[in-house]
Amino acid sequence: MNGVFDLAGTDGLGPVVVPDEEPVFRADWERAVFPMFAMCFRAGFFGVDQFRHGIELIDPAVYLKSPYYEHWIHTVEHFGEALGKLDIAELDRRTEHYLANPDAPLPEHADDPDLLAFVEAVVPAGAPAKRESDKVASFKVGDIVRVDRSAPKGHTRRARYVRGAVGEVVLHHGPMIYPDTAGNGLGENPEHVYTVRFSAEELWGAEHAEPNQSVYFDVWDPYLELVTEHTHRTEGAPA
């Protein structure tokens, strides 16, 4: 979908503000939100691509103005409600309760050794997105390609600033989960992933680009169309 989250090249947002020191979590509530990604993933709320799409669906003004981890609350609520796992009216009632009684305790509960073991295991193991596939790669390193101009309405990683742009395939990573289906609840459908190099002049125009700059952007096979196939020239032959 075209949305404000697709930020590359947006002007007028002001300077990047870099504090001298910053804790990993700036508020206690951030400590409770951060583990929701892994634990709600384990509970079947979403995959990582759906998780991202839930954030993309946030009201654009809220997206731009809210603290980062608040985005995560929105996507947990979005999928919790859609899957019938969260009653939002009940969530609203509890929110009022904790707003009036910030120190009221959480429900009493027992430890869960399996959940703790999941945390200890998933942090070092991760959840790889590479997949086996018998799909043949349509492109190879050295090919000149163009990103297609289509603007899908659901989740996609076709950022607007590379659509229609021509670049060179510089890395081929093999098949990985395809966000354009996985992020829309349509299955993994692995596709080959490539890194494409775009010159800044290609993306922004020679007049507006900084000198001597390029962008490396990852794309899935269906995003690309071939412009010029790379051919290995015989040594000594004219280029």
Partner 1 sequence: MSAVTRTQEEIAARVKALESMLIEQGVMTTQAIDRMVEIYENEVGPQLGAQVVVRAWTDPAFRARLVADASEACQELGISGLQGEDMVVVENTDTVHNIIVCTLCSCYPWPVLGLPPNWYKDPQYRAAITREPRKVLRESFGFTVPDEVEVRVWDSSSEMRYWVLPQRPAGTEGWSEEQLLALVTRDAMIGVGPVGAVA
**Considering only residues 179-218, where is the footprint of partner 1 by CB under 8 A?**
193, 195, 197, 200, 203-204, 210-218
Among positions 139-168, residues that touch partner 1 (CB under 8 A) are 157, 159, 161
CB-CB contact of 37 with 28 (8 Å): no
CB-CB contact of 195 with 173 (8 Å): yes
* Residue 32 vs 141, nearer CB to partner 1: 32
Shortest distance, CB of residue 230 to partner 1, whole angstroms? 20
Instruction: Draw the binding track, 57-96, toward partner 1 (x: CB under 8 A; -: no contact).
Output: --x-xx-xxxxx-x--x--xx-------xx---xxx-xxx
15 is an interface residue for partner 1 by CB under 8 A: yes
Beta bridge mates, 73: none
Among positions 17-36, residues that touch partner 1 (CB under 8 A) are 17-19, 22, 24-29, 31-36
Of the candidates 46, 50, 54, 55, which one interacts with partner 1 according to CB under 8 A?
55
* Residue 25 vs 238, nearer CB to partner 1: 25
Q: What backbone torsions phi and psi does residue 174 show, to the nearest 5 degrees?
A: 90, 180
C-alpha to C-alpha distance for 239 and 232, rounded to whole angstroms: 10
Instruction: Draw the binding track, 104-143, toward partner 1 (x: CB under 8 A; -: no contact).
Output: --xx-xxxx--xx-xxx-xxxxxxxxx-------------
Shortest distance, CB of residue 232 to partner 1, whole angstroms? 22
Cα Rg of the chain (Å, integer): 22
The residue count of the chain comes to: 239
Structure token digits, residue 141: 């390193």
CB-CB contact of 152 with 178 (8 Å): no
Structure token digits, residue 30: 């951030």
C-alpha 28, offset from chain centre: 25
